[in-house]
C-alpha cells in the first residue's frame, strides 16, 4: 500500500513538472535585446526605408528576425502597434542570445563544392 502511494505521488509530481512550461507565457521566456542608443525604427531593413518612430535608449525588446548578414533586426510584437515589426540597426542592440535565435545560418563555404 505504501509503495503504491509513493508511486502515485511520484507520477503526480512528474505530471506537474511536465506541464510547467505551458503555465508561463511564451514571450516571457524569450531572450531580449537592449538598445544602446535612441534608434530610428524603419519600415524595412535599410537606410532608405521610411522612419516610423524611435526606440528609447536601454529599452528591452524581443526580436522576430535579423537579416542574414546581421545588419538589421525586426522588433517583436510587445511594442506599441506603430513600432512592432519595425526594423532597427543590429549593431546598436546588445543581447547575442536574442539575435542569434532569429538570424538565419550563413554558410562560410559552398556546401556543394561548386563555385558561386
CATH for 52 = 2.30.30.40
- In tens, the pLDDT along 48-67 reads 999 999 999 999 999 998 88
The predicted-structure confidence for 32-44, as pLDDT tens digits, reads as follows: 889 999 999 999 9
Q: Which domain holds residue 73?
A: 31-102
Number of domains forming the structure of the chain: 1
The pLDDT, as a whole number, for residue 72 is 94
Joined together, the cell numbers standing for residue 47 give: 537606410
Ramachandran category for residue 81: left, alpha or beta (phi over 0 → left; psi -120 to 50 → alpha): alpha
In the predicted model, what is the mean pLDDT of residues 13-26? 44
The reply to whether 15 falls in a domain is no
Amino acid at each position: 500500500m505504501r509503495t503504491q502511494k509513493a508511486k502515485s505521488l511520484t507520477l503526480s509530481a512528474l505530471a506537474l513538472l511536465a506541464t510547467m512550461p505551458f503555465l508561463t507565457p511564451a514571450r516571457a521566456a524569450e531572450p531580449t535585446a537592449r538598445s544602446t542608443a535612441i534608434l530610428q525604427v524603419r519600415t524595412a531593413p535599410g537606410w532608405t526605408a521610411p522612419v516610423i518612430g524611435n526606440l528609447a535608449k536601454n529599452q528591452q525588446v524581443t526580436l522576430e528576425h535579423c537579416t542574414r548578414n546581421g545588419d538589421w533586426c525586426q522588433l517583436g510584437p510587445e511594442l506599441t502597434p506603430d513600432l512592432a515589426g519595425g526594423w532597427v540597426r543590429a549593431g546598436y542592440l546588445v543581447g547575442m542570445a536574442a539575435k542569434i535565435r532569429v538570424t538565419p545560418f550563413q554558410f562560410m563555404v559552398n556546401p556543394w563544392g561548386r563555385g558561386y
